[in-house]
Structure 1
Amino acid sequence: MVKVWFNHWFSAAYNIMSMIKEDNPDFRIVGSNENRVSVLSAVCDEWYQEPALKGNDYADFCLDFCREHEISVFMPRREMLAVSRRKADFEAAGVKVMADDYGILEILNYKDRAYQELARRGVSTIPEYRIVTTPSGFAEAYRELSGKFREVCIKFVHDEGGKSYRLIDNTRRGYAALFRKQNTRMTYDAVFEALSEREEFSPLMVMPNLSGDEVSVDCLNTSRGLIMLPRIKDSSRIERLSFREDILEKTREVYRAVKLECPCNIQFKYLDDKPYFLEVNTRMSGGVQMACLAGKVNIPSIAVNKLLGIDREWEICRDERYVTHVELPVLL
């Protein structure tokens, strides 16, 4: 029996689990979370609560969990770096881990290192940026970049889901500001004041705000070729699967630079009709199910079978299609 374990994933993994079960009805899905109650428990065949551990201690827990519950495939999200560092230990225990090698994950999970290394390896679409750790460093970086670009934004180097992204918007004051969504906008003065609460802070990236289309490409490298499903995102919940050749070529460029074998999500954003690389998320995205539905290809299932040594056939529907999602009640 094949048992696939998801550890402490975000709630959108409900769809990833469902897609694996739909295509592989004999597989058992095992889930765990620090929280006893989670929507993921509704789709799992087995459900467990995790201890509050970090780093190598958590990797030890995961290894013991895999042995105890006879896990075949481990799909980590929480503490993925710590798990990938110990991948050989899991493989020695007969467990396939859906994570690329630690060396490349460590680089890609830190934006400054990712930009430096990918530029060195020939990725041509790295935007101009500055890395700062002090209020004065931020002030200098903002002064330089605001002289070159219409808009400037910031985000911390180690971030997930763009939580720290802020657009520096000095028109945020006054009556007109009441009609604009403000949660990701801050004035320069407000940012400087916030950063000035620390003499030194975690590395912060200052860069031009790429104001054009955002494209999220769900990817998986297979023996039959590279699956690429580019979703164009906007402020609505409706996304568009569109196979723009410039995005496909820039995605191939990233893959030529880094040999990723597990599912990932590569993000680009346009400025003046040119796509710029934003980041690689070294896991399946929260919207992979929408891309797969529109493209008629099941990335989660193909990826699990690939780890198990099974080569699944696939063919992408390349029609441009709109896709969205709705919230449904789930009884726990």
Structure 2
Amino acid sequence: MTRIWLNHWFSTSYNIINLIKDDRDFYIIGSNENSNSVIKTVCDEWYTEPKLNEKDYIEFCLDFCKSHYVDVFIPRRSMVAISKEKKKFEAIGVKVMVEDYEMMNILNNKNLAYQYFDEKRIGRVPHHETVTTVEQFEKAYNKLLNHYDQICFKFVNDEGGKSYRLIDNSIKGYTSLFKKQSSRMTYESVIEALAERKEFSPIMVMPYLPDDEVSVDCLQTNQGIVMIPRIKSTSRIEFVRYDQEIMTTCVDVYSKIDLQHPCNIQFKYLNGIPYFLEVNTRMSGGVQLSCAVSGVNIPNLAVNKLIGRDKKWKNNFEEKHVSHIEIPVIL
């Protein structure tokens, strides 16, 4: 029986685990800082993780793998740091589902990634400016505003778009009462917040691309590349659609970047043109939606590939809407 450990994943990994367990000889060990994480309900073993600095956390992971006889480690927390120490895990017989450190370090830093994409001529990357001071931010904002209607920004080192903000100067006064503002800020509010630091962590300033966002769930296999492009939505309804330019760009990504594990390649449309945004070096939170429409079980394929099993797959290439519902789970 293959013992698989997933550390500190987001709640939708509940679905990823169920897809992995399509093979009955897979035994799932889960852990999280939150002792009541919903994913514990689909794990065969469950543990609460300690709060540690990154260096100590790597030692914790190595010890955990030894003491729990882990065969396959699928990390989310501290992925880049774990990739740097991957050989230490391999030395104790653990296969780690993470890319090599050199590429992880590039792809998980938005500035380095865009430099790499430009250098390799991968896709159509949006105009962007990287800044670390208020003065630089003001200059970049005004420069981009000469060419685009709205501007957005996020920190270069970010996960899940937590720092993403759209600059929206209309969210003042009475009209602001009718708008969700969690990811919107006025220009004045942004400058006021940034001014608290003489110099801040690098921020990428970009044009706001208002049209559809496409999330492509991918995996390289001996049979070929799994590529399932899913149009995301703020509603619960998404749509799998095979745009030829997006598919061609994904193939180009794989021809220039050695990606052996599941990843998520993101695009955003502007005036009908898809712009290449980023490569997330892990399974997406919505990978189960792509799997449901296409008939391809990406998480299960990925684990089998990692342990040396060449499992066959077939994409039905159907273009369909897909949704999901919340169900109660007793913890």
TM range (shorter): over 0.9
**The residue matched to 1:16 in structure 2 has which SS?**
helix
For normalisation by structure 1, the TM-score amounts to 0.97
Q: Is the 8 A contact 1:118 1:257 kept in 2?
A: no
Q: Is the 8 A contact 1:221 1:263 kept in 2?
A: yes
1:319 paired with 2:306, answer no
Which residue matches 1:241?
240
Which sits farther off after the overlay, 4-13 or 35-44? Answer: 35-44
Count of residue pairs the alignment pairs up: 331
Q: Is the 8 A contact 1:85 1:102 kept in 2?
A: yes
Q: Match of 2:60, as an amino acid?
A: F
Distance across 2 between alignment mates of 1:223 and 1:91: 22
Q: Is the 8 A contact 1:171 1:177 kept in 2?
A: yes
For normalisation by structure 2, the TM-score amounts to 0.98
**The residue matched to 1:216 in structure 2 has which SS?**
strand
Which residue matches 2:88?
89
Q: Match of 2:2, as an amino acid?
A: V
Displacement of 1:133: 0.7
Q: Match of 1:326, as an amino acid?
A: I
Which residue matches 1:134?
133
Could you list the per-position Cα deviations for residues 7-27 of structure 1 after superposition, in whole angstroms to 9, with x for gaps in the alignment?
111111111001111x11121
Which residue matches 1:107?
106
Which residue matches 1:10?
10
Displacement of 1:130: 0.4
Distance across 1 between alignment mates of 2:303 and 2:214: 25
Which sits farther off after the overlay, 61-70 or 214-223? Answer: 61-70
Structure 2 regions of 5+ residues with no counterpart? Answer: none
Q: Match of 1:13, as an amino acid?
A: S
Give the ranges of 4+ consecutive aligned residues of structure 1 lying more than 4 Å apart after TM superposition.
Answer: none
Structure 1 regions of 5+ residues with no counterpart? Answer: none
Q: Is the 8 A contact 1:33 1:48 kept in 2?
A: yes
Could you list the per-position Cα deviations for residues 125-160 of structure 1 after superposition, in whole angstroms to 9, with x for gaps in the alignment?
111100011111100000100001111111111111
**The residue matched to 2:189 in structure 1 has which SS?**
helix
Distance across 2 between alignment mates of 1:239 and 1:54: 38
Could you list the per-position Cα deviations for residues 43-86 of structure 1 after superposition, in whole angstroms to 9, with x for gaps in the alignment?
00011122212323211111111111111110000111111111
**The residue matched to 1:84 in structure 2 has which SS?**
helix
Distance across 2 between alignment mates of 1:178 and 1:31: 42
Which residue matches 1:191?
190
Which residue matches 1:182?
181
Which residue matches 2:226?
227
Identity of aligned residues (%): 55
Q: Match of 2:215, as an amino acid?
A: S
1:29 paired with 2:50, answer no
Displacement of 1:180: 2.7
**The residue matched to 1:119 in structure 2 has which SS?**
helix
**The residue matched to 1:154 in structure 2 has which SS?**
strand
Distance across 1 between alignment mates of 2:142 and 2:34: 44
Displacement of 1:319: 1.2
**The residue matched to 1:29 in structure 2 has which SS?**
strand
**The residue matched to 1:158 in structure 2 has which SS?**
coil
Displacement of 1:181: 2.6
Q: Match of 2:169, as an amino acid?
A: N
Could you list the per-position Cα deviations for residues 197-248 of structure 1 after superposition, in whole angstroms to 9, with x for gaps in the alignment?
1111111110111111100001000010000011101221110011111110
Q: Match of 2:216, as an amino acid?
A: V
1:262 paired with 2:261, answer yes
Distance across 2 between alignment mates of 1:124 and 1:78: 29
Alignment of 1:139-154 (within 5 A): 139-154=138-153
Which residue matches 2:53?
54
Q: Is the 8 A contact 1:240 1:322 kept in 2?
A: yes
Which residue matches 1:117?
116
1:39 paired with 2:33, answer no
Distance across 2 between alignment mates of 1:271 and 1:167: 16
